[in-house]
Amino acid sequence: MGFELEIIHWLQSFSNLFMDTLFKFITLFGEEVILIVILGFLYWSYDKKLGEQIGFTVFISLALNSIIKWIVSRPRPFEVDSTITAIKPAEGFSFPSGHTQTASTTYFSLYAFMKKKWLLWVAIAMTVLVAISRMYLGVHYLSDVIVGGLLGVLIAFLMAKLYPKIKNINQVYQWMLILSVLGLFVVLGINLIKHTSNGVLDSVEFYNASEAVAKMLGTMFGFIIAVQYEKKHVNFENHNRFWHNIARFALGLTIIMAIRLGLKVIFTAMIDPTVLSDNQPVLAIIATLFDFIRYTLMLFIGIGVYPKLFRTLHI
């Protein structure tokens, strides 16, 4: 770990306002907002089937990343070494890097499914840049970004090879729904035990340890039920009308972001997980379930329900 801390120190030795701003911008390409933009465009406005394939791949990767982080529970560099600055602070655990894995899975999936060589160079560049940004910002070690990047590449190419060969994708989806729910309650149960000492639960620590897994499993759950609902009750078609596609995309992003932020405000007003008192297991569990529900609804409405408006609005 010592040499990994030295790498971060070396990167941060170049820190100034311009470099800080640059790497804060670069790291956005591994965040969920950019992921929503890419998948939203693919699904609503370009190729629904491609959007489903890449979406399923990315959400499997994110769920796996959150579970590995929870199991390893590695502190972030700025938490270990006080001389490292968290230029853009991050919560949760460090290993493997979620931003780097998101970037590598997303961009390498685009290349693996679409087979356009220029996308390979985009994938390599974006993954490397996001990885460097995470270290520069003081929130990840070299091993975090290497493993995150490699996992993303592996999952992208594996799914690109296996997905077209799946004969009954609905059966796979049903198993993923079951595993999402089981996984969530297994994590909650273990965290209750892990963060209880002398019969007293550290409610805030319980929530912090459970939050990321709940969000990612909620994303997976919401995406799957959304795709199944859309196929059965909506079944919209992609088209090549440019301005109509722009309208689909812009309205869809607005709806998803409104749900994402609006539900956060509502749920936090009901239970603020950052101010929970010790030994409040029910409130801590409900706060975690709120995260699962928020991300489930965000994907279900955006992918499953929103396309119903396409015919009504003639877009």
Per-residue pLDDT 10s for the chain (315 aa) are 688 999 999 999 999 999 999 999 999 999 988 989 999 999 999 999 999 999 999 999 999 999 999 999 899 999 988 899 899 988 888 999 999 999 999 999 999 999 899 999 999 999 999 999 999 999 999 999 999 999 999 999 999 999 988 888 989 999 999 999 999 999 999 999 999 988 888 998 999 999 999 999 999 999 999 999 999 999 999 999 999 999 999 999 999 999 999 999 999 999 998 888 888 889 999 999 999 999 999 999 999 999 999 988 888
CA 303 → CA 39, 57, 153, 170, 215, distances in Å?
10, 15, 25, 16, 17
Which residues make beta-bridge pairs with 197? 200
One domain for residues 306 and 171 = yes
One domain for residues 48 and 108 = yes
Choose the final residue of a domain: 115, 132, 165. 165
Pair 123, 111: CB distance under 8 Å: yes
One domain for residues 179 and 141 = no
As a whole number of angstroms, the distance between CA 161 and CA 206 comes to 38
User: Which domain range does residue 267 map to?
Assistant: 167-315
One domain for residues 97 and 198 = no
Q: What secondary structure does DSSP assign to 117-156, as a single string?
A: HHHHHHHHHHHHHHHHHHHHTTS--HHHHHHHHHHHHHHH
One domain for residues 91 and 151 = yes
Pair 105, 79: CB distance under 8 Å: no
One domain for residues 148 and 178 = no
One domain for residues 27 and 172 = no
Nearest to 314 by CA among 226, 232, 231, 247: 247
One domain for residues 153 and 209 = no
One domain for residues 5 and 66 = yes
pLDDT for residue 1: 67
Q: How many domains does the chain have?
A: 2
pLDDT for residue 147: 97
As a whole number of angstroms, the distance between CA 152 and CA 291 comes to 24
One domain for residues 136 and 197 = no
pLDDT for residue 305: 94
Q: Which two tokens stand for residue 157?
A: 């190419």
One domain for residues 224 and 311 = yes
Tell me, rounded to whole angstroms, the distance of Cα 205 from its chain centroid. 21
One domain for residues 106 and 199 = no
Choose the final residue of a domain: 165, 198, 220. 165
pLDDT for residue 199: 84
* pTM assigned to the model: 0.90
Residues 6+ away with beta carbon under 8 Å from 117: 111
pLDDT for residue 138: 93
User: Which H/E stretch holds residue 290?
Assistant: helix 281-299
Choose the final residue of a domain: 145, 165, 185. 165
Pair 283, 205: CB distance under 8 Å: no
